[in-house]
DNA sequence: CGCAGAATATGATCTAGACATAAGCTCTAT
DNA sequence: ATAGAGCTTATGTCTAGATCATATTCTGCG
């Protein structure tokens, strides 16, 4: 009696995992649960809301709450700044600028970021090292229409990521993971064989509707991205 | 006045993105905010709690709430069943069992799942097709100590994933993404060249402390995993 | 029979107030 | 000086009651 929302949540979870409330079946409504747990309805509500967020149950007004037939399994990944990713492992971080150029944005980039016909972009290629070993290759494009200040920023000492985080505190992003082969240039930078399989992250970010940057991050071969849930 | 928790959340977010509340700075406390928004403290609390969940602010009792210096960017990925992943794209799903064997768990698997010395495991290799094209290769091990029923299950018509979801409604999992090269066998199954870069997901799941399954899912070359945040 | 509008059940959210808990502070006794 | 007791403060959680929003079902009219 007098359960906390954590206890209620745990108990409901338990009943689901134990099979007492089968997948697809209807769960008692908030009022009934509140009574049976001897707590307020808001407490049950919070427990249920969190379970719904976690993808375990499905709630619909009037229709009630049911256990999801196939729980939506979702994983959450932290996307850290490379610097912290490396330093958190206890390794020493080093940054280096490989190349810098101001170009017209190529077609694929204009398409991807919905840029105008002759949009100018700053193209940077950088490397991030952990204890002196190549860790991540960064191939970045910055939209100069939206971020003209980038033209004058100095990217020889610190990476564009840190500059961007400081300049644009928050933005929406589209991120995608894939596998690719290291070409000659990448292989040289990452000190691996050309043709090695590499894990790549691509991220495009927008701020108030305008695309500001696109980046392709390529990790040294063997990199894994792990999480628990 | 009389703001909803969504409005409060949006407004706080806005102040942060606009730089009005700088990274690292202290935000007014709940009571003050509730007054200024003309709502109850619980409303502000919910807005702030969600922002904290999203990694935008950091809250500590007594110390107050501050804007995170470098927002923890996190992406959430749904890990769907292959069947729904394929059907959601409007393609026709087909499943096929490649091989089935009961073996002693190999050393790497025992280590990974913390199994005993002579643990028996069911080893399945399956293929999932979208509109007849190879989509995903599944290399799965099921711990027979914990799931002896798997010995008698029929995996020729439906995949082990669906069987497992039905048998064990919920479990904790460790998931990791990486890039690999297709070897000869994989290349044959996925109808691609040996040496093609492939995206792989590995997942180990536990139920009440016991490992029940380990799976390596390999997607056809070119597969991307995308999300927005 | 079919559709528009009313009734209803249920989750979604809000309120005002209370107590719990952690963390920082000050003061006191050793 | 320092360990610890106790105060203060901000967030965390709970309560009981209420209103709102909406999907579903029911009802009556054409």
What is the structure's pLDDT at A169?
65
Pairing of strands B224-228, B172-181: unpaired
Determine the Cα–Cα distance for residues B218 and B206; give it in Å rounded to an integer: 21
Q: Which residues of A touch B174 (CB under 8 A)?
A: 226-228
A178: nearest CB among B175, B224, B228: B224
Determine the Cα–Cα distance for residues A62 and A29; give it in Å rounded to an integer: 10
Helices A30-37 and A5-17: crossing angle, nearest 10°? Answer: 110
What is the structure's pLDDT at A28?
93
Mean pLDDT of all residues in B64-68: 91
- pLDDT tens per residue, range A113-145: 989 888 899 999 999 999 999 999 999 999 999
- pLDDT tens per residue, range A41-59: 999 999 999 999 988 899 9
Q: Which of B187, B184, B191, B179 is nearest to B216 (CA)?
A: B179
pLDDT: is B220 or A172 the higher one? B220
Give the CA-to-C1' distance from A62 to D23 in angstroms: 6
Interchain proximity A165–B70, CB inside 8 Å: yes
- pLDDT tens per residue, range B120-139: 999 999 999 999 999 999 99
- pLDDT tens per residue, range B71-122: 667 788 877 788 888 988 899 999 999 999 999 999 999 999 989 888 899 9
Q: Which residues of A touch B181 (CB under 8 A)?
A: 196-197
Please check whether residue B134 is in contact with residue B220, taking contact to mean a CB–CB distance below 8 angstroms. Answer: yes
Whole-model pTM over 0.75: yes
Q: Which of B58, B191, B207 is nearest to A16 (CA)?
A: B207
Mean pLDDT of all residues in A102-117: 92
Determine the Cα–Cα distance for residues A211 and A147; give it in Å rounded to an integer: 10
Determine the Cα–Cα distance for residues A4 and A8; give it in Å rounded to an integer: 6
Q: Is the CB atom of residue B125 positioned under 7 angstroms from any atom of strand D?
A: no
Q: Specify the range with the lowest mean pLDDT, choosing from A73-82, A156-165, A208-217, B116-125.
A: A73-82
Question: Does residue A75 surpass a pLDDT of 90?
Answer: no
Tell me the H-state helices in chain B: 5-17, 30-37, 41-53, 82-88, 107-113, 160-167, 184-190
What is the structure's pLDDT at A6?
94
Q: What is the DSSP letter of A25?
A: P
Specify the residue for token string 């994983």.
A75
Q: Topology of A5-67 in CATH? A: Arc Repressor Mutant, subunit A (1.10.10)
What is the structure's pLDDT at A44?
95
User: Do A5-67 and A82-219 show the same overall fold?
Assistant: no
B229: nearest CB among A17, A173, A198: A173
> Could you tell me what percent of chain A has a pLDDT over 90?
69
Determine the Cα–Cα distance for residues B84 and B90; give it in Å rounded to an integer: 10
CA dihedral A188, A194, A199, A200 (to 10 degrees): 60
Correct CATH for A82-219 of 3.30.870.10, 3.40.1410.10, 3.40.50.300, 3.30.70.270: 3.40.1410.10
Choosing among A82, A177, A201, A213, which should be mutated to test the B contact, i.e. which has the most B CBs within 10 A?
A: A177
> Could you tell me what percent of chain B has a pLDDT over 70?
98
Nucleotide minimizing C1' to CA distance for residue B61: D11
- Residue of least CA–C1' distance to C22: B61
- pLDDT tens per residue, range A149-204: 999 999 999 999 888 877 876 678 899 999 999 999 999 999 999 999 999 999 99
Domain boundaries, chain A: 5-67, 82-219
Q: Which residues of B touch A221 (CB under 8 A)?
A: 179
Give the count of Cβ contacts less than 8 A between chain A and B: 143
């Amino acid at each position: 009696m007098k359960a906390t929302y954590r206890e209620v949540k745990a108990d409901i979870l338990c009943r689901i995992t134990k099979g007492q409330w089968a997948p697809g079946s209807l769960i008692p409504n908030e009022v009934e649960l509140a009574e049976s747990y001897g707590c307020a309805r808001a407490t049950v509500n919070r427990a249920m809301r969190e379970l719904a967020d976690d993808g375990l149950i499905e709630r619909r007004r009037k229709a009630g709450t049911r256990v999801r037939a196939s729980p939506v399994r979702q994983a959450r990944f932290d996307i850290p700044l490379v610097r912290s990713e490396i330093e958190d492992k206890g390794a020493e971080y080093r940054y280096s600028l490989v190349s810098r150029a101001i170009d017209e944005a190529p077609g694929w980039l204009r398409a991807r970021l919905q840029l105008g016909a002759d949009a100018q972009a700053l193209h940077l290629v950088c490397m991030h090292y952990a204890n002196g070993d190549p860790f991540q290759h960064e191939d970045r494009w910055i939209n100069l229409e939206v971020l003209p200040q980038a033209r004058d920023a100095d990217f020889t000492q610190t990476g564009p990521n840190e500059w961007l985080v400081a300049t644009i505190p928050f933005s929406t992003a589209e991120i995608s993971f894939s596998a690719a082969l290291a070409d000659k240039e990448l292989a040289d930078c990452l000190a691996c064989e050309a043709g090695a399989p590499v894990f790549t992250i691509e991220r495009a970010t927008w701020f108030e509707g305008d695309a500001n940057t696109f980046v392709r991050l390529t990790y040294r071969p063997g990199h894994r991205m792990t999480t628990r849930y």
